[in-house]
Amino acid sequence: MADFPIFDLGAFERATPEEKTRLGETVDEICRKTGFLAIAEHSVPTDVIEAVWQSARAFFDLSPEEKNAARAPFPGYPYGYLGPGTEALAKSKNVDTPPDLKESFNGGPLAVPAGMTDGEALSFCYAQTIWPAGPEGFADAWKAYYRAMEDLARRIMRVFAVALKLPEDFFEGFIDQPISALRALNYPAQTVAPQPGQLRAGAHTDYGSLTILLPEPGSRGLEILSPEGDWVSVPPVPGAFVINIGDLMSLWTNDRWVSTLHRVVNPPPEEGGMDRRQSLAFFHQPNWFAEIRCLDTCLSPGDEPRYQPVLSGPYLMGKFKATVTAKAS
Ligand SMILES: O=C(O)CCC(=O)C(=O)O
Ligand SMILES: [Fe+2]
């Protein structure tokens, strides 16, 4: 996709109100088409990125036994190591496929908010992250990156508010106790042919407000469904994060903005499947009890909301549990 949009976040933050409105209009246009864009000038320190990237790589290079020592203790548990064969993302769209060709390490919020007593919230999104014994420094690097992503997501939500012609701090009350998850993904080199219909990540939409993705520099494989209905590659954008909006933004905007279907395809057979790929995905998710309902500004006179309101946490939990494979259970 030669014209993949790149948004300069620093320039937006320094802009006058008039310029912000204009930049917001370009973001609105992107989110109406695909909701995928690159974020440049994000000011996330390179050493924070580098430390988590190398820690994740070293973790995935451990033996299966070492990785399994940090595995999620039962199927549907969201955090810790999820080994090969345990998830099929297409199932979140009711499409039955073989498991995705990947493994992941997952971590949740760094603290439980004071006064949180909801049993489902405590046992799902506030469940303990199962930290691995090594590599050294893994948890510290992870937490530093998680915090940087929480901050970046909050800044991007301000851009979204402006793009929707809302006050810049409109979303604050929905995202001040976010239940986001960070996931490091490893798509191993493929030494055996995939089963029919088996991908690195099956076609899905993301469930939350927005996803901040850091793909392996220079790597390929991530594809999005264009408004014309074609699968198109997302190009690597050096130094930038790729972001995309999730289901809750389309619910909030009554489908003005699209939560675009995307997938990660296998390396071309002529490369022998040897192209290992790593990525980091931060799934920003509003507060457990945030009620997401159609925004008044997204309803023209005579329009009806297309969706029933949902609560952020239970919605996420339902989607996540739908992707657990038979192997995991
Ligand atoms: O690894 C990637 O590039 C994308 C993964 C993804 O879309 C997801 O896990 O939701
Ligand atoms: Fe995704």
Q: What is the CATH number of the domain that holds 226?
A: 2.60.120.330
Alpha carbon distance 167, 136 (integer Å):
44
Whether the model pTM is above 0.90: yes
> Which residue's CA is the closest to the ligand 1 atom numbered 9?
281
Kindly indicate whether the ipTM for this predicted assembly is greater than 0.90, answering yes or no.
yes
How many structural domains comprise the chain?
Answer: 1
Range of the domain at 68: 6-328
Ion ligand 2: protein residues whose beta carbon lies under 5 Å: 206
> Which residue's CA is the closest to the ligand 1 atom numbered 10?
206
pLDDT of residue 324: 81
User: Cα of 115 to ligand 2 centre, how many Å?
Assistant: 32
pLDDT of residue 327: 67
Mean pLDDT, residues 151-176 taken together: 98
> Which residue's CA is the closest to the ligand 1 atom numbered 1?
279
pLDDT of residue 3: 83
Question: Is residue 237 predicted with pLDDT exceeding 90?
Answer: yes
User: Cα of 281 to ligand 1 centre, how many Å?
Assistant: 6
Question: Is residue 213 predicted with pLDDT exceeding 90?
Answer: yes
Mean pLDDT, residues 227-248 taken together: 96
3-state secondary structure the chain: CCCCCEEEHHHHHHCCHHHHHHHHHHHHHHHHHCCEEEEECCCCCHHHHHHHHHHHHHHHCCCHHHHHCCECCCCCCCCEEECCCCECHHHHHCCCCCCCCCEEEEECCCCCCCCCCCHHHHHCCCCCCCCCCCCCCHHHHHHHHHHHHHHHHHHHHHHHHHHCCCCCCCCHHHCCCCCCEEEEEEECCCCCCCCCCCCCEEEECCCCCEEEEEECCCCCCEEEECCCCCEEECCCCCCCEEEEECHHHHHHCCCCCCCCCEEECCCCHHHCCCCCEEEEEEEECCCCCCEECCCHHHCCCCCCCCCCCEEHHHHHHHHHHHCECCCCC
Q: CB–CB of 2/152 below 8 Å? A: no
Residue 251 maps to a domain: yes
Atom of ligand 1 nearest to the CA of 102: 1
pLDDT of residue 313: 97
Residue 170 maps to a domain: yes
Residues with CB under 6 A from ligand 1: 185, 201, 206, 213, 215, 222, 262, 264, 279, 281
Question: Is residue 274 predicted with pLDDT exceeding 90?
Answer: no
Q: CB–CB of 47/109 below 8 Å? A: no
pLDDT of residue 2: 54
Question: Is residue 325 predicted with pLDDT exceeding 90?
Answer: no
User: Cα of 17 to ligand 2 centre, how many Å?
Assistant: 32
Ligand 1 pocket check: which of 93, 199, 209, 213 to mutate, most ligand atoms within 8 Å of Cβ?
Answer: 213
pLDDT of residue 255: 97
Question: Is residue 141 predicted with pLDDT exceeding 60?
Answer: yes
Question: Is residue 269 predicted with pLDDT exceeding 80?
Answer: no
pLDDT of residue 300: 87
Atom of ligand 1 nearest to the CA of 187: 1
User: Cα of 202 to ligand 2 centre, how many Å?
Assistant: 9
User: Cα of 268 to ligand 1 centre, how many Å?
Assistant: 18
> Which residue's CA is the closest to the ligand 1 atom numbered 8?
281
Alpha carbon distance 151, 154 (integer Å):
5
Confidence of residue 245 (pLDDT cuts 50, 70, 90): very high
Mean pLDDT, residues 126-152 taken together: 98
User: Cα of 282 to ligand 2 centre, how many Å?
Assistant: 10
Residue 1 maps to a domain: no
